[in-house]
Amino acid sequence: MKHTTLTALSVLLIASAANAGDKPMLAIPGAVIYESKLDTAPAAPWKAAKGAWTLADGVWLGAEKPEDKHGAVTRLPNKLGDFVIEYEFQFQGARTTSLSINAVKDHMARISITPKVITIQRDDNDHEGPDKAIIFARVPADLQPGTWHKVRMEMVGDTMLGQVDDFVAYGSSDLFKGDRMTPGFTVGGQSVAFRNLRITEATLNPEWESVKAGLPKPGEKVAPAGAPAAKGAGKGKAKGKGKAKKAA
């Protein structure tokens, strides 16, 4: 398992992209920063802030603890530059999961997933202040329990691209120009399995403008939420909950 520190990040939008496959999108992957099959018991450098994180059947299992009154959270202590993150997950009864990236203070961005909805967003970055989450894309999904699904997040400069299976999304924000911290998983409910995590350095795909032209613009694909978020998965306090806005 390889682990180092890094530096820089971005955001998202969502649409079914049958031709996405493994072709370069926003980023060209580079050197490996961190790689693990997640087939050994959770341990350093990971830091589990909430919930139960265990090894079961050769993969990680994350589950919310009711007494926490907060979604399960585990994070790497990395400071990220431009990067690509890939992993696989499987619903095993949980109501929601996400791949989350923090700013130096508060949240920055995430791919939020329920069995019925996939959301790509810039997070609310000031808890009780005027800032609000911005939904770049939200689409209906049908993610069956016991089935493995692939997640990919790419961040270069002020732009992030997110992908869950064939759903692809992108968006941009000045917030992403700041330090990107502590990538991690969240789980709301019981339980979600994780495997095959890989984080690499990244550079901008020289064909990105052409790729972007084939994707919906941020804010074009925003379906109703359709399912509750995990407590604590997005914000630490309830104030302002539900006030996310579409991308301008």
Q: What is the pLDDT of residue 247?
A: 60
Percent share of the chain, pLDDT over 90:
71
CATH number of 11-230: 2.60.120.560
The per-residue b/e assignment along 92-110, b for 16 or more CB within 10 angstroms, e otherwise, is bebbbbbbbbbbeebbbbb
Average pLDDT, the chain: 85
Question: Which residue from 1, 172, 168, 9 is spatially nearest to 82, judged by alpha carbons?
Answer: 9
| Domain residue ranges in the chain | 11-230
Looking at the DSSP bridge assignments, the partners of residue 140 are 117
How many Cα atoms sit within 13 Å of 237 on the Cβ side? 9
Residue type, 97: T
Between 189 and 10, where is the model more confident?
189
Output DSSP code: residue 212.
Answer: H
How do 134-140 and 245-246 pair as beta strands? parallel
How much is the pTM?
0.82
Using one digit for the tens of pLDDT, what is the confidence trace for 3-19? 433 333 233 333 333 33
Q: What is the pLDDT of residue 245?
A: 62
